[in-house]
Amino acid sequence: METCSCFVPVGKTPGRLFSLAPVLPILRSRKGRCPGSTGVAAGNRPGASGSKPGNGVATALQDLPGDRWTRTGAVLRDAPEVSEENKRISEEMWKEAEDSLEWRSVCSQVAAFASTSMGRDLCKVGGLPIGRDRGESQKLLDQTMAAVLLPRPLDFSGVDDISRIVTSAVSGKVLSIGELCAVERSLRAARGVYEQMMELSSIDGLSNRYSSLLLLFQNCSFLTDLAYRIEWCVDCNLSVVRDQASEKLQSIRADRRKNIENLEVLLKGISNRIFQGGGIDSPLITRRRSRMCIGIRASHKSLLPDGIILGVSSSGATYFMEPREIVELNNMEVRLSNSEKAEELAILSLLTSDIACFEREIMHLMDIILQVDLASARAAYARWMGSVCPVFCEGNDEVNSNEEPFLVNIEGFCHPLLLEPSAMNSSSPVLSGLPQSPSVIPVDIRVGHTTKVVVISGPNTGGKTATMKSLGLASLMAKAGMFLPAKGTPRLPWFDQVLADIGDHQSLEHNLSTFSGHISRLCKILQIASQKSLVLIDEIGNGTDPSEGVALATSILQHLLSCVSLAVVTTHYADLSLLRTQDIRFENAAMEFCIKTLQPTYRVLWGSIGNSNALSIAKAVGFDPKVLDRAQEWVEKLLPDKQRERQGLLYQSLSKERDLLEAEARKGESVLMEVKKVYHEIHSEAKDLDKREAALKAKESQMALQELKLVRSQVDAILLKFEKQLQDASPDQYNAILRKSEAAIAVIVEAHCSVGDSSEEDATAFSSSYAPIQVGDQVYVKRLGGKVATVVEAPGDDGSVLVQYGKISVRVKRSDLKVARTSEPAVPTPTPRAQQGQRPQRGRPGQEEVKEAAFGAAVQTSRNTVDLRGMRAEEASLHLAAAIAGCRSLGVLFVVHGVGTGAVKDAALRLLRNHPRVARFEADSPMNDGCTIAYIN
């Protein structure tokens, strides 16, 4: 056997070469991993050093007997303390439960969302991994949630199922170039999936959101060096081994190219000579028996004396001859070609050996990619179906008063196989809602914490079996990390086994009748059921004498009370529904049936007992009325009249109450819509009023500013004229000129006032802009929104004034200030007990009350009115205090507080009683309802 002088780059630096020992003998003798294989550099791993398979579901499942992707949901099969017989029965029952609950069909739906061939193949055979305990199922749910939160789908392009290729490499079969390229492409694609996850987790620090998926890559090797070696040695685009793969191959191919050039030169010369001699129509160089030769007519073969005939055309007219001159060169070409093939085979064998050495690492990496793909498929399936994440709850713990009162609480569950047509015909739904279809009726499943057995009764074709199967399928989906097509937050326990006896198990092959098959399965269920199992039994005790069937069913249900987590059975035996009266661990449920339409509604009435309604259904399908009449007579004989009447009245009462509640709900909804409509109208009108009020205020302010500007310009003109007259007048004329100017100013002020009170206010406001400002004066500050502040520092040389508003001190220009009132001697605050309408006492006790000055006429205008309606009490007090501070001396203030609850009025009167500037006030009266008149000092 030839040896291979193969070289590949160490690390990623081309040019650093090393030679290897013979390969093929080592590969043929190797049956497993390479002894002493150390894996790849730690720098190629996202987690800790070393190459250890993870504890993921797919990795754990590959250790099971049989095919690598075989998966079962029977937890008992892996328990060491369980007998082999029970393990076999558990495996058998799991497969039957899968078929009964149509688990493979649901997995096939998920297969459409898988991105890799591994994921699609696994889903199509119903192989979605199911958690072997609650922790594993929760991890699967967390992975699904992380995949749902991904902003964009992961790209799995390039990932192939290379398990068979790796198995072939381990068995000693030399891999082809295409197989090596598939391994290299899958390794690089797997690395790309991890890099996508890292890129998404680095955005805005969202690593915690995707931690459940990132943890899968912990202690994982991407075998970067192996992928690089394959790429260095093999050209996957051309499917050839590269010259640089080894020194020997490079030398052989160089010699071969040189030898072929010599061959072509000689053959072209000989071919042209024959062509010129008429031995052939055109120069023809070809290859026969791996040797280069020339085509020549049979009649002219003498042109090549001593030539070797390598072949003849089909017609016999052309000979393919090898000239004697090129025999040695052809021999060299054959030797070099064989050496090249041997060297290529040695290189492929070496790369195959490397893949066999890293079998565990490659299989572990592919398992991780498979888990990520399945999580992405479950997430896409959840978005497509509009599903929500379920929550596992403990089934055996005592319920607290603050906890959820239900052991199983699934609202609005829709069977996925029924949702598929409606989801196909609609746009992709989101997690907030289910695809709506009138043909799909959601099922509410609510089982209390104390319930162990649920007995579902009702008519045939009423949905009893479908409801029971929905619970079983929801349990399997939650265990497999799938979201449920339901509403809210579904809650259910984690069941270790789902044991189902559904359908007719009659078998001629095994000599089983309907009842025998039914009892045989019940026997197996009772044998392997555990405290965490879910048992589903359809038509328990059916197929035999009703009296014995009821007795057997009762005994089985009482036995299940103490040996399973939850059992759900369907029956037509009314006696089984009476078990609730003897043991509160039983619960009844009934499928609703509409007596008017003689059709089932497929709604579950929890806590109710349903009738089979066999006669009504037979009547609906067109049965002979005479036969039905005789059957009704037998029913009346077998069923006591009082019990039948009581059940009928109870059902009618419940139906009537339900109809009444539905009518009240519709009425309430109508009233709510009317209220919302009125609210929106009032809200719209209020916005319009606010806009109109703001517009009127703005217009009034603009007009007032224009009027004030006109008055100031006229007064400035009078003052300018006054100054000129003083310069030219004699001292005797000063008084006359002054009186004349004052009279002109008074005429201007009176002309721009609508009423007497307004004229005084305007004059005061006008004079306040020219009045000197002293420390302690109350002023309006424009920069503070017209708030009243106190002067704390006299005006400086630059004309600025320092004022204080609360805890804020600010320096403003003189032009931005307006004097509210000049400082006066301090006046003691009147006692809070001052009676309404009385003038407060001023000065020392014993002094005579100061004679009340004359106030202006009580004429209400927009300038002396403050409107407090619509305000809170505190806000109204602040507005009233500001209005009093800005009111002129001996003025009248109209306080409009309205009636309402009286809170604003009480706050206003309380402030008027205690304010030092309020001389007296007149409370509102029937003639002036909601308005108080205050007289300000």
3-state SS class at 866: strand
First to last CA, the chain: 125
Query: Of 259, 481, 288, which Cα lies nearest the Cα of 378?
Result: 481
CA distance 332 to 203: 63
| CA dist 436 → 90, 425, 588, 754 (Å) | 38, 10, 29, 70
In degrees, rounded to 5, the angle at the alpha carbon of residue 887 between the alpha carbons of residues 881 and 891 is 125
Q: What is the pLDDT of residue 518?
A: 77
| CA dist 915 → 473, 849, 852 (Å) | 78, 18, 17
Q: Are residues 59 and 360 in contact, defined by beta-carbon separation less than 8 angstroms?
A: no
Q: How many C-beta neighbours within 10 Å does residue 266 have? A: 16
pLDDT digits (tens, 9 = 90+) for 374-422: 999 999 999 998 899 999 987 554 445 445 678 899 998 988 888 765 4
Q: What is the pLDDT of residue 926?
A: 67
CA distance 628 to 614: 10
Q: How many C-beta neighbours within 10 Å does residue 824 have? A: 11
* Amino acid, single-letter form, for residue 77: R
Q: Are residues 46 and 118 in contact, defined by beta-carbon separation less than 8 angstroms?
A: no
Q: How many C-beta neighbours within 10 Å does residue 608 have? A: 17
Q: In sequence order, what are the beta bridge partners of 588?
A: 455
Query: Of 453, 447, 448, 408, which Cα lies nearest the Cα of 559?
Result: 453
Q: What is the pLDDT of residue 387?
A: 92
Query: Of 480, 481, 392, which Cα lies nearest the Cα of 144?
Result: 481
Which is it for the CA torsion 301, 307, 308, 311, positive or negative? negative
Q: Distance between alpha carbon 848 and the CA centroid of its chain, in Å? A: 82
Q: What is the pLDDT of residue 108?
A: 92
Crossing angle between the packed helical segments 359-385 and 103-111, to the nearest 10 degrees: 100
Task: Report the b/e string of 707-723 with b at 16+ CB within 10 A.
Answer: eeeebeebbeebeeebe
Strands 800-805 and 808-813: antiparallel
CA distance 774 to 935: 26
Residue 485: both structure tokens together: 């097509």
Q: What is the pLDDT of residue 403?
A: 56
pLDDT digits (tens, 9 = 90+) for 866-901: 888 888 888 888 888 888 888 887 888 888 888 778
Backbone φ and ψ for 859, nearest 5 degrees, come out as -110, 120
CA distance 603 to 466: 11
Q: Distance between alpha carbon 757 and the CA centroid of its chain, in Å? A: 69
CA distance 12 to 170: 26
In this prediction, the residues of the chain whose per-residue pLDDT falls under 70 are 1-82, 204-207, 395-404, 420-439, 460-462, 504-514, 593-600, 610-622, 632, 634-650, 653, 750-772, 783-785, 797, 807, 821-858, 926-927
Q: What is the pLDDT of residue 38?
A: 36
Q: What is the pLDDT of residue 605?
A: 83
Q: What is the pLDDT of residue 639?
A: 57
Q: Are residues 452 and 586 in contact, defined by beta-carbon separation less than 8 angstroms?
A: yes
pLDDT digits (tens, 9 = 90+) for 243-285: 999 999 999 999 999 999 999 899 898 888 888 888 888 888 8
Q: How many C-beta neighbours within 10 Å does residue 456 have? A: 26
Sheet containing 318-322, strands listed edge to edge, beginning at the edge strand earlier in sequence: 285-288, 291-297, 318-322, 308-312
Residue 71: both structure tokens together: 């998966």
Q: How many C-beta neighbours within 10 Å does residue 799 have? A: 9
3-state SS class at 817: strand
- What are the helix (H) ranges across 358-483? 359-385, 416-424, 464-479
Length of the chain: 937
Which is it for the CA torsion 39, 43, 48, 53, positive or negative? negative
- List, in sequence order, every beta strand (DSSP E) within 140-179: none
Q: What is the pLDDT of residue 833?
A: 36
CA distance 499 to 533: 7
Q: Are residues 529 and 497 in contact, defined by beta-carbon separation less than 8 angstroms?
A: yes
DSSP 3-state percent helix, strand, coil across the chain (nearest 5) = 50, 15, 35
Query: Of 763, 119, 32, 712, which Cα lies nearest the Cα of 380?
Result: 119
Which is it for the CA torsion 452, 458, 464, 465, positive or negative? positive
CA distance 517 to 504: 8
DSSP 205: G
* Amino acid, single-letter form, for residue 344: E
* Structure-token match 């000979």, residue found: 319
CA distance 189 to 838: 94
Q: What is the pLDDT of residue 513?
A: 59
Residues 6+ positions from 599 with CB-CB distance below 8 Å: 593, 620
* Residue ranges of domains in the chain, CATH in brackets: 96-244+345-391 (1.10.1420.10), 247-339 (1.10.1420.10), 404-419+440-632 (3.40.50.300), 639-744 (no CATH), 865-936 (3.30.1370.110)
Kindly tell me the burial class for residue 194, based on how many C-beta atoms sit within 10 Å of its own C-beta (0-12, 13-18, 19 or more): buried
